[in-house]
Every structure is written in C-alpha cells, then in structure tokens.
Amino acid sequence: MDPFSQFLTGPRAQSAFSLRVVMDPPFAIDVQDEAALTVIVPVRGHAWIIAEGGPPRSLRPGESATVRGPAPYVVADSPGRPPTVVIGPGQSCHTPAGDHQELTMSQGVRTWGNSPHGETVLLIATYQTAAAAGQLATSALPQVAVFDEHETDPGLLNLLEHELTHTDLGHESALDRVLDLLLLHLVRVSVNRAGDELPSWAAGTRDPIVARALALLHEQPATPWTVAELARRAHVSRATMAARFHTAVGQPPMAYLTTWRLALAADRLVTSSATTAVIAHEVGYSNAFTFSTAFSRAYGVSPTGYRRSANPDATRDTAVSSPSPTA
C-alpha cells in the first residue's frame, strides 16, 4: 500500500468532510482548519485562493483545485478582501471578532454560506487526517494546485455535484468514493504536470525501475532491504537503481525506506496499544532502542511521547525488545 492509498484507506483515514458553499460578495473565508488536503470545485461564479508565500490563484467553473495543509489559506471573491469569516479546526465557524456563525450560515443539508442563492457556489471537500503516512502522501503536491477544464474530468465534477445535492440510496458512500476518485485523478495530473521538477515518491512511480523499488518498499517495509537487492529485483545494476531512485524521489532508497517505516510506525503508535518493541519489529527495526533513536531523530520526540501527545489517556508503553530484521 503506497502512501496515497494509506492516506485514503489507512487506520487513521477519514472520509472527507464535504460541503456546498454558497456565497454572495463580499466574502473572504479564512481557512484555518489544519486539514491535510482540500479539494475545491467551483460550480458557479468566480473565486480566488490566496495562500501565504504564493500568488493569488483564480478559480472558475470547469476548473478545480487542491490545497495542501496544514497551513492556512483564504478563499475570497477578491484577492485583497479582508476575512469575513474564519473556519477553525473541526470545521468551527466564527467571525474575525470571535462570534460563532455555525447556525447563522447554515443553508440546509451540506450547504453553508452567506446566502441561500449565492452568486458563487463552490463544492469543498476537506481530508482531516493527521496521519503521518497521509502527510507523506500529500508532500508530493504543491501547496496550491489549480487544474483547468482540460485537466479536470467533467464527468467526475457532475457526479460530485449530484451526490452533494441529492440524498439517494447510499448517498454517503457514493459521495466518499466520488471524492476519492476525483482527488486521485487530480493528484495524478499534478504529478505528471510537475515532471522532474518536484521529486517525490509519487514522481518516482513514473519511472518503471523506481516504481518497482517503491512497490517493494511499500508492500514489505519490514524486509531488510538493500539497494543491491532492490536493483536485483528490478533487473538493473546497483548504480542505476541508486541514481534513478535519487533523481526521481529526491532521496536515496534507504533514506526513503526509513521515512516510510517511521510514518507507518507513527500511525501505529496512535491507533494501537502495541508496545514500542512490537511496532519496531513490524516496521523492520532490530530492537526498540534502535527504533526509538531513529524515531526521536525524525519526529523530535520519543515513540512513547508521540503516543501520549496524540492519546493523552494512552497506557504506559512497556517496550520489550524482540528480534526482527535490521533497519
């Protein structure tokens, strides 16, 4: 299972929170929900996406956009508009002065905005997961990506709008699947569009040799891999594997394996009561001490500390070493 599949289906994955946003100008939605990833589809009117450090991006019907979190961004009718409403963690809603607006701006089932028949209509889906594997998945995307009408599948957009505005049999499940399919489509377009300019695990899947190595690392993270063994499995030389992997992914194979193992371990720490030693064994470390050292170096906190920060009520971890492949 690659990082993106883990993002959508892993133990900490959540269905996207989806909403039909209906707005009349002036409006500027200051989004501070810290979501991992957001998909925005304009149905009517015109909007701008403004993220810190980047230029304002225009968004019109037929187009779509993705925004990578957790950094805040603004969706507005004009690039220079001051915020009129703030969206916080958990999709809380308030004015810049702090007055709650959840009820005031509710316009019915899955519909929200300052007008029941607004000039601008946006379909917005946010993926809230804080999973470490999910963060690795979204790292392959730019902070803001806008896709024109030639890059956005109109069939998926029409189906998304239908599912958001109807409550037919299986509505919730259908909506989740349409959103995931649209997101996957946009991620593929983004990766192909970036070419070699944005090295990442996702870009690596475009090279058949690197893709073979990535598949092995993703599917069998606990195996004691070496560059030589990956090269043998891909039927190339060690030098070829090392060079092509680094160029496509942006880091050496063993460095990427460490990143992947630790991301899986971080999610396992939060979603299970397994000891540090058991988790170390599951992701390919020889003992809990070696794993803890690598984890602390990458995350700035011990595995036990990471678990406690995510689950304050978690029971004390009894880290007992057990044999496993060497990291």
Q: What is the pLDDT of residues 201-218, one digit of tens each?
A: 888 988 999 999 999 999
Q: Is 227 helix (H, G, I), strand (E, B) or coil?
A: helix
Please list, in sequence order, all residues whose beta carbon lies within 8 angstroms of the beta carbon of residue 203, skipping any fewer than 6 positions away: 140, 191, 194, 195, 196, 248, 249
Whole-model pTM above 0.85?
A: no
Around 124, how many Cα atoms within 13 Å sit in the side-chain half-sphere?
27
β-strands 17-23, 28-31: how paired? unpaired
Q: Among the listed ranges 186-190, 220-224, 264-268, which one has the minimum average pLDDT value?
A: 186-190
- C-alpha distances in Å from residue 304, one per residue of 273, 280, 312, 313: 11, 12, 11, 12
Res. 230: pLDDT tops 80 = yes
Specify the pLDDT at position 227: 98
Rounded mean pLDDT of the chain?
A: 87
Q: How confident is the model at residue 12 (pLDDT cuts 50, 70, 90)?
A: low
Specify the pLDDT at position 11: 55
Q: What is the pLDDT of residues 93-135, one digit of tens each?
A: 999 999 998 888 888 778 899 998 899 999 998 888 767 777 7
Look at 11 and 21; give whichever has higher pLDDT: 21
Average pLDDT of the residues in 59-77? 93
CB 253 within 8 A of CB 277: no
Q: Among the listed ranges 16-30, 33-47, 97-111, which one has the minimum average pLDDT value?
A: 97-111
Look at 185 and 311; give whichever has higher pLDDT: 185
Tally Cβ neighbours within 10 Å of residue 161.
16
What end-to-end distance do the CA atoms of the chain give, in Å? 19
Average pLDDT of the residues in 52-73? 92
Q: Among the listed ranges 3-7, 34-38, 157-161, 287-291, which one has the minimum average pLDDT value?
A: 3-7
Specify the pLDDT at position 78: 95
Average pLDDT of the residues in 231-250? 96
Res. 4: pLDDT tops 90 = no
How is residue 316 annotated by DSSP? P
Res. 35: pLDDT tops 70 = yes
Specify the pLDDT at position 142: 86
Average pLDDT of the residues in 71-98? 92
CA–CA distance, 98 with 115 (Å, rounded to integer): 20
User: Which pair of structure tokens corresponds to residue 90?
Assistant: 């958990």
DSSP string, 243-258: HHHHHHHSS-HHHHHH
Look at 181 and 28; give whichever has higher pLDDT: 28
Q: What is the pLDDT of residues 263-282, one digit of tens each?
A: 999 999 988 999 999 999 99
Q: What is the pLDDT of residues 277-323, one digit of tens each?
A: 999 999 999 999 999 999 999 999 999 999 998 776 544 444 433 33
